A and B are shown apart, each in its own frame.
Chain A
Amino acid sequence: MSARTVELFVNGRRVQAPVEGAEFLAEFLRERLGLAGTKVGCGIGACGLCTVWMDGQVVSSCLVPAVVAAGRHVWTVEGLTDLAEGRVTDAPPGLPSPQLVQAVQRAFVQCEGLQCGICTPGQVWAVCALLSEEPRPSEERVREFLAGNLCRCTGYQGILRAVRQASEEWAPSEDP
C-alpha cells in the first residue's frame, strides 16, 4: 500500500506519521500514535465515540481523512486530561479552561454519567465544548447538542445530571 507522511499537531505537539489508503483520523490517532483514549464505534459519524477537538470545534474523527487533518491542531481526551491536570503550558485559544474540564470529569464520575465508559471520552469532549461556549445551557439545548453522542448504558439520565452539576459548578447561578 502506498504510504504518505502526514504532519499535524496533536495535543500541542507536532507529530508525523505515515498514512495509508483511506485512513481516517480516528485510526491514525489510535494506531499510529497510540492515543487510544479516542474510541471508535460506528465509524460513520453516527455515534460520537470518536469525538475530538479540531481547530476550535468538536468533530467526529472517524469522518476526517487523516490527510485532511494535515497541519491542523487536534486535541484528544489525553490532551484534555493533560489540560485538566496542569500539564499544558501554552494552550491554544478556544480550548476549554482546565477548571471546566476538571468540573466535567468530576461530574461524570460522581453522577454516574458513565457505565461501560466506551462513550465517555466523546461525551466528555462534547460537554466541555458545549459548556465552554454556553456555560448555562437549558436542558433542551443540552439534549440537542448531545443528540449525536449515543450511550447504550446509562439511559442518559446520569449524563444529564453530570452536565447540570458541571454547569452549576462552572457557572453558578446568580440567584440564591
Chain B
Amino acid sequence: MRTVGRADGWAKVTGRAAYAGDVRLPGMLYAALVRSPHPHARLLRVVKDAAWSVPGVCAVLTGEDVPYGTYGRRVRDMPVLAREVVRFAGERVAAVAAHSLQAAREAARRVEVHYEPLPAVLDPEEALRPDAPRVHEAAWRYPGAVVGPDDPPNLQSRRVWQYGEDVDAVLSRCPYVFDETYTIPAAHQGYLEPHACVAWWKPDGSVEVWASNKSPHRLRAQLAACLGVPADRVRVMPVYVGGDFGGKGSPMDVPVCVALSQATGRPVKLVVDYEEDLTAANPRHSAVVRVRLGVDGEGRMQALDVRAVVDGGAYAAFKPVEHVNLNGFAEAGNTYRIRAVRIESLIAYTNTVPRGHMRSPGSLEANFAVESTVDVAARALRLDPLEFRLRNVLRTGDRGTLGEPWMEVRGEEVARAALAALREGEGAGEESTADGGRWARGVGFAFYCRAAHGGETEVELRPQPDGSVVVRVPFPDQGGGQHTVVRNVVQRELALPAEAVWVQQADTEELGTDSGVGGSRVSLTASAAAAQACAQLRERLRQEGLEGWELRAALAELARRRPGESVRAQVKVDEELWMNSFCVQAARVRVDRDTGEVRVDELVTALDVAGVLNPPSHRAQVEGGVVMGLGSALCEEVVMEDGRVVSGNLHEYRLPSVSTLPRLRVVLVPGGRGWGPYGVKPVGEMTNVAVAAAVANAVADAVGVRVRRLPISAEAVYRAMQEAGR
C-alpha cells in the first residue's frame, strides 16, 4: 500500500492552504514601507505631503507617530520605525497604508526623507575597537540587553565555553599546532515566501494578527510587550508558513502593520517584496573564525581554541536565545576527544542588516572552520583524513568536549556506513576520465554532532460525532511535517485510519503553551503530548463505560453524550536530555584545473537515527537539509558593498535548482537511543551543517588547495591554485 502522505498535503496541492499574505478582510488596506538608503544617518526631516496627495492613501507614519516601544525576541532594541537615526541601509523609516497596493507603493515612493549621513562601522572587528563609531549610544539600556556600560563599544554579545585543562598550556606542549582562519558570509534563509502579515486593531482595542511566523505564542508575547498591552489582547491566528529555516521567528514587520491598523481603524496587509526580504530582514550572521588545533605525536587531538568574531548587524532583536549568541559555536570540535577546549564567540553591532538565526545557527560556521582545520592537520601529518577523524572520534562513555555526559555517541558506526555507501557509488555516474586531465577528482568528509533539546507544547483531542478525532495543536507546520507526525501518533495510539484524524492549528487564544517550531524540538514534545492525550482519551472512554465498543463508535458516542468535550495533554521537557545525533557527510567532487569550477557529483549523508515517526517526512527533512547545505557550500552569499546588500533578488542570490543537483545518498544508521514514547531523535537541523566542510575537503583532495571562505566559488579555487602554483 502507498503511504497516506502528509496531513497538510491536500490543502497545499489544491491551493487551499492559506498563508498570511493570502488573507483578505473587508475594508482591508495595503501597506508599503520607506527604507533608509544609508547605513548610518541622522534623520533630519520627513515630508509627507506628496505621499498624502496620492488618491487612496489613509496613513503615512514615521517613528514619531508610533506610540509603541522597541521590540525584539530577547533584546528589545529595534524600533518599529526609525527615530532620529537610522542604523542600517534598509531600516524602516516610514510606512504608508492605502486602498490598493499600487497606491501604497506610489505614496511610499513620494515620501521625502532628509538624512545627514554619519560615519558607519561595517566590520565587526573594527566595531569592537574603542574608537569605533557607535551603532547605539547605550546598548545596555535596552530591555533584555546582555552587555554593560563597561563592555567594548558595539558589543552585542560575548560567550565563552570551556572545559578541561588550560588550552594555552596544552597548546604550548603540542608538537603540532594548526592555526587557521575561515570566513563565513551572511546568507539568507531562502524561504520562498517573503515576510507577510495582516493586522487588525479592532474597535474594542484587541488586536488580531495573521503572520508568517513559526511561533505564534511567542509572537503574541513579543507584540504585547512592544505595543504595551496585555498579552490576552493580542490574538495570533493560524496560517501556514511558507518556509522558515530560522528566519520566521520574529515579529519583523508586524508591529508597524499594527500601527497602521491602529491609525486607520482598518485591517492592513503588509507583504514585503523579495528584494526587501533579502536586503532588510534577518539573514545569517557573517563570521570570521580562527581555529587553533593542537595535535600530539600520535595524531591525537589535544587542544582546541576557537575564536569567532561575528557580525550581528544593527540590532540584536532577531535572536531568540538567552545570550543572543549563536549556540552552534559550542559544538566546535564536539565530535572528537579533546582534553582542552575553549570557544569564544563575540558578536558586534555594525551598521549592516540585523542578523538572525538560520537553520542550526552557529553550527555551520563552527563546523566549516573546525572540520576544514582537521583536514588541514590530517594532510600535514600525512594521515588519511577519515582515519585521522576516526582515531580521535568521541565514543560512547566519553565525556563530551564541554563535559556533556552523552548517553551515546555513534560516530564510528555512522562513519563506517558513510564509507561503505561511498564505495558502492564509486565510479557510478561519472563521465569517462578521458577528458584530457581537465577534471581532478576528490573525496572529502566532515563530521557533525548535535545535541537534542526539549521544549513545551500542548495537544488537544476532540472526538467528533462521525467517530473521527480533531487534533488541535498550537504550532504551525512550516514544512517540517510536525502536523503529520502528530497525526501518525494519534492514528497509531488509537488504531484509527489516517482519514479519521484531522490535525488543525489552534489560534493563541484556544491553546495555551508552545515554545514554537524551532531547534527541531517539535517532533519530540508533540509526539509525547499526542501519546499522552490519547491515553487520556482512552481513560475517558473507560469512565463512560465505552471501553468494549469499537473505537470509532465509542468516539462518536462520547461526542454525542458530551458535545464539545475534549482532552488535553501538555508536555514540558526542561531537563537536559544528554542525547545527540551524529552525521557523517561525504562529498565526491570534480574540479576543473583550468577554471577552478567545482562540480559536486555525489553527496553521501549518513545519519544516526532512533525511532522514526514518519519515514517519508524524515527522509525529506534530511534531503532538504543536504541541498540547503550545498547552497551554503557553493553559491549562497548575501553580498554587501559599503554596508548595503547588493544581492537584489533570487536571480543574484542563487538557491540550488533541480537542474544542478548532484546524486544524493542518504544512509540511515538505525539503533540509536531516542527520547519519549517513540524514542525519537530530532533531524531538522542535522544535515545542512557539514556539507560545506565536506565539499571544501573534497576540493583539497582533488587539487591540493584549501578554500577558507564560503561559498566555494570557481574564482576562489582558481586563485588558490594560482597561488599554490598548481
Q: How far is the CB of A28 from chain B (nearest CB, A)?
A: 11
Q: Which of A119-159 contact B (CB under 8 A)?
A: 119-121, 124, 142-144, 146-159
Q: How far is the CB of B122 from chain A (nearest CB, A)?
A: 27
User: Which residues from A are CB-within-8-Å of B628?
Assistant: 152, 155
Residue B246 interfacial (CB < 8 Å): no
Residue B133 interfacial (CB < 8 Å): no
Q: A143 and B192: CB pair below 8 A?
A: no
Q: How far is the CB of A128 from chain B (nearest CB, A)?
A: 11
Q: Pick the contact of A112: B243, B271, B617, B664 (CB < 8 A).
A: B617
Q: A77 and B658: CB pair below 8 A?
A: no
Q: Pick the contact of B479: A38, A39, A104, A115 (CB < 8 A).
A: A115
- Residue in B15, B102, B244, B481 with the greatest tally of chain A CB atoms within 10 Å: B15
Residue A167 interfacial (CB < 8 Å): no
Residue B273 interfacial (CB < 8 Å): yes
Q: How far is the CA of A160 from the CA of B620 in the complex (A)?
A: 12
Instruction: Tell me whether A154 and B620 are in contact in the complex, defined as CB-CB below 8 angstroms, given that A27-B101, A46-B650, A117-B17 are known contacts.
Output: yes
Q: How far is the CA of A116 from the CA of B617 in the complex (A)?
A: 12
Q: How far is the CA of A106 from the CA of B14 in the complex (A)?
A: 10
Contact with B along A27-38 (1 / 0, CB 8 A): 100110010111
Q: B620 and A146: CB pair below 8 A?
A: no
Q: Which of B617-635 contact A (CB under 8 A)?
A: 617, 619-620, 623-628
Q: Which of A35-50 contact B (CB under 8 A)?
A: 36-44, 46-47, 49
User: Which residues from A are CB-within-8-Å of B543?
Assistant: none
Q: A43 and B274: CB pair below 8 A?
A: yes
Q: How far is the CA of A51 from the CA of B201 in the complex (A)?
A: 34
Q: How far is the CA of A119 from the CA of B56 in the complex (A)?
A: 32
Residue B52 interfacial (CB < 8 Å): no
User: Which residues from A are CB-within-8-Å of B625?
Assistant: 155
Q: A47 and B14: CB pair below 8 A?
A: no
Q: B12 and A112: CB pair below 8 A?
A: no
Q: B623 and A117: CB pair below 8 A?
A: no
Residue B22 interfacial (CB < 8 Å): yes
Q: B649 and A150: CB pair below 8 A?
A: no
Residue A108 interfacial (CB < 8 Å): yes
User: Which residues from A are CB-within-8-Å of B2?
Assistant: 110
Which of B3-11, B176-184, B460-468, B701-709 contacts its partner? B3-11
User: Which residues from B are CB-within-8-Å of A115?
Assistant: 243, 479-481, 620, 624
Residue A61 interfacial (CB < 8 Å): no
Instruction: Tell me whether A23 and B102 are in contact in the complex, defined as CB-CB below 8 angstroms, given that A42-B650, A44-B649, A155-B624 are known contacts.
Output: yes
Q: How far is the CA of A120 from the CA of B620 in the complex (A)?
A: 15
Q: How far is the CA of A91 from the CA of B656 in the complex (A)?
A: 36
Residue B13 interfacial (CB < 8 Å): yes
Instruction: Tell me whether A78 and B15 are in contact in the complex, defined as CB-CB below 8 angstroms, given that A42-B649, A116-B243, A117-B8 are known contacts.
Output: yes
Q: How far is the CB of A30 from chain B (nearest CB, A)?
A: 7
User: Which residues from B are CB-within-8-Å of A69?
Assistant: none
Residue B655 interfacial (CB < 8 Å): yes
Q: How far is the CB of B661 from chain A (nearest CB, A)?
A: 6
Q: How far is the CB of A52 from chain B (nearest CB, A)?
A: 11
Q: A155 and B627: CB pair below 8 A?
A: yes
Residue A114 interfacial (CB < 8 Å): yes
Q: B19 and A109: CB pair below 8 A?
A: no
Residue B193 interfacial (CB < 8 Å): yes
Nearest residue (CB) in B for A115 is B479
User: Which residues from A are CB-within-8-Å of B240?
Assistant: 116-118
Q: B243 and A39: CB pair below 8 A?
A: no
Nearest residue (CB) in A for B13 is A105
Q: A47 and B192: CB pair below 8 A?
A: yes
Q: How far is the CB of A166 from chain B (nearest CB, A)?
A: 11
Nearest residue (CB) in A for B55 is A1
Q: How far is the CA of A7 from the CA of B32 in the complex (A)?
A: 27
User: Which residues from A are CB-within-8-Å of B19?
Assistant: 36, 39, 118
Q: How far is the CB of A43 from chain B (nearest CB, A)?
A: 6
Q: B56 and A1: CB pair below 8 A?
A: yes
Q: B650 and A47: CB pair below 8 A?
A: yes
User: Which residues from B are CB-within-8-Å of A37?
Assistant: 14-16
Q: Which of B621-663 contact A (CB under 8 A)?
A: 623-628, 649-651, 655-659, 661
Q: A152 and B664: CB pair below 8 A?
A: no
User: Which residues from B are CB-within-8-Å of A23?
Assistant: 101-102
Q: B24 and A20: CB pair below 8 A?
A: no
Residue B194 interfacial (CB < 8 Å): yes
- Residue in A40, A42, A158 with the greatest tally of chain B CB atoms within 10 Å: A42
User: Which residues from B are CB-within-8-Å of A47?
Assistant: 192, 274, 650
Q: A150 and B192: CB pair below 8 A?
A: yes
Residue A81 interfacial (CB < 8 Å): yes
Q: Pick the contact of B103: A1, A78, A142 (CB < 8 A).
A: A1
- What are 6 A-B contacts defined by CB distance under 8 Å? A39-B192, A44-B649, A105-B10, A112-B5, A116-B192, A117-B242
Q: What 16 new A-B contacts, CB under 8 Å, besides A31-B24, A37-B15, A158-B620?
A: A1-B103, A20-B100, A22-B102, A30-B22, A37-B14, A43-B274, A44-B649, A47-B274, A81-B16, A109-B13, A112-B5, A114-B9, A146-B658, A150-B655, A151-B658, A155-B626
**Top 5 A-B residue pairs of the complex, sorted by shortest distance between their CB atoms:** A37-B15, A118-B242, A116-B479, A109-B9, A117-B12
